[in-house]
Amino acid sequence: MGRGRPRLGAELVNTLDGSELAKQRLKVVLQTISGELTIPQACERLQLSEARFHELRSACLQTACESIEPKAVGRPAPQPPTEQEQKIQKLEAQIKELKIDLRAAQIREEMALLMPEVMVQPKDREKDRRKRLDAMQKEWDETEAEKKSPPPSTPSSGAENSTPKNSGKSGKS
């Protein structure tokens, strides 16, 4: 007898996790591969037809082969965000900005109530704000109009200018 651990062979299956039925089937498949059992003996033990046993053995070997297939080293590369995730990120950023603006407006309101003399706003600043808001609304309207309108068609080259222009001279010299 040689040194080292004793060879367990198909008995190694007993150390695996799984149901007793699955362990028994795997053990019998391994015993047929190693030559300890013949196919008819294996079919008798498992109470299967030969065709079903061959299917079971093929599936077992295929699964084993797939599980030991080499895989990429390291962590998988991060996937780029989907269109929906991008929309969500954009909306979350917009919500954050709006919350900041709301809090600033609340603070200004509190200050105006507590210290009205400090919060006097010059008339010019209100006009500038109105102009900015109007410009933003106009830009928004133009963007929406571009989305809804079809692209402009290009006129045919020179079709409008095909008639000769009369220069006012009768042609007599």
Q: Give the C-alpha distances (Å, rounded to integers) separating 60 from 3, 11, 42.
A: 32, 17, 15
Specify the length of the chain in residues.
173
Residue 50's H or E segment, with its range, is helix 50-67
Q: How many Cβ atoms from other residues are within 10 Å of residue 31's Cβ?
A: 18
Give pTM, 2 decimals: 0.41
Residue 96 DSSP symbol:
H
Each residue's pLDDT tens digit, 15-65: 888 899 998 999 999 999 989 999 999 999 999 999 999 999 999 999 989
pLDDT digits (tens, 9 = 90+) for 103-150: 999 998 888 888 877 666 656 566 677 788 888 888 888 888 887 776
